[in-house]
Amino acid sequence: MRLPQTDASQLLRASVVGAVLAAVLLGLVLAAMLLPARSAAGSDLRLIHSERSLYRQVLVYQDAEDRCLCFTRECAIGRQSCMDLRSPERLVFQYTQMMLGALYLNPQPRRILIIGLGGGTLPTTLERLLPQADIDVVEIDPAVVRVAQQYFGFHADAHVHVIVQDGRVYVRRALRSGERYQLIMLDAYDSQYIPEHLLTREFLSEVRSLLTPDGIVAANTFSSSRLYQNESVTYAAVFGPFYNLKSGNRVILAANGPLPSLQQVASNERRFRDVFRSYGFAARAVLARFSTRVDWDPHARVLTDQYSPANLLNSLGH
């Protein structure tokens, strides 16, 4: 609908003010959502590493308890990864705990793909849990790989392989070469949000094609993003029903075939109770977050390569 000129001008002024306020509020929300279970931000927080890569500022901060990888000064918009300096194996973030809930759907994946390295928490933990698995980790930024190795104890070896490449490029090439994975984890972020080309129906369809018939995808996203409705319908369009796990972040768990029942999920959860306790969390607490309830507008617009305004929606509040 075209508005009269005077109404359009007033609306423009109001929308600019609203956009500024939304951006400020969004920054506060994002900062809160990516904080570890206990805050690492103390008076003794200090910068121990800083470099400018081709893609971003890569920073490492540390206090008496935690060491954190950030993409903004003072970790102003959350932390990409954190390590407990006193207990390095403990999973600091709840979202990493929820991502491991993918093992309740497929407890013994032999081939795993992780898109987005961060500090390397997920591949490091999965290698300990599944020593026979082959794990491919795709990270676009070589600076992030160096920092994960130097400051967070991550290392590649015979079972963990690092590919420095854009995640979508890798998925397409892997499809052409006939690769297949039983578990794919999507955990790629820039300083603000998930890159747009890793959010669309086309990309998720490529990811699904890369899965084995019993394959599972686990995706880390936000529980209160302005794209929540669109992301939800996009995953549903590609995978059908999925499990929705929420804390500050949310994790989507979807299957290439029929979604395992909650009874199957609960049965598999029991296998991990002892081992997850050694990583500082309760397997049952992750199980309690499993839900298939549709809490989004099913008529929202699906994100596509032609319609994926992630940066606009999240930065300007439209």
Taking the C-alpha atoms of residue 106 and residue 216, their distance in angstroms, rounded to an integer, is 7
Burial of 6 (C-beta count, 10 Å sphere; 0-12/13-18/19+): exposed
Helix (H) or strand (E) holding 263: helix 262-269
Q: Are 60 and 147 in contact (CB under 8 A)?
A: yes
Amino acid at 223: S
Taking the C-alpha atoms of residue 20 and residue 316, their distance in angstroms, rounded to an integer, is 7
Measured from the Cβ of residue 146, the count of other Cβ atoms closer than 10 Å reads: 14
Count of positions (residues) in the chain: 318
Q: Are 79 and 68 in contact (CB under 8 A)?
A: yes
Amino acid at 164: V
Taking the C-alpha atoms of residue 1 and residue 303, their distance in angstroms, rounded to an integer, is 23
Beta bridge partners of 163: 138
Taking the C-alpha atoms of residue 155 and residue 28, their distance in angstroms, rounded to an integer, is 33
> Closest by alpha carbon to 147, among 125, 126, 165, 120?
120
Burial of 243 (C-beta count, 10 Å sphere; 0-12/13-18/19+): buried
In this structure, is the dihedral angle defined by the CA atoms of residues 80, 83, 84 and 88, taken in order, positive or negative? positive
Taking the C-alpha atoms of residue 149 and residue 63, their distance in angstroms, rounded to an integer, is 19
Q: Which residues are catalytic?
A: 187
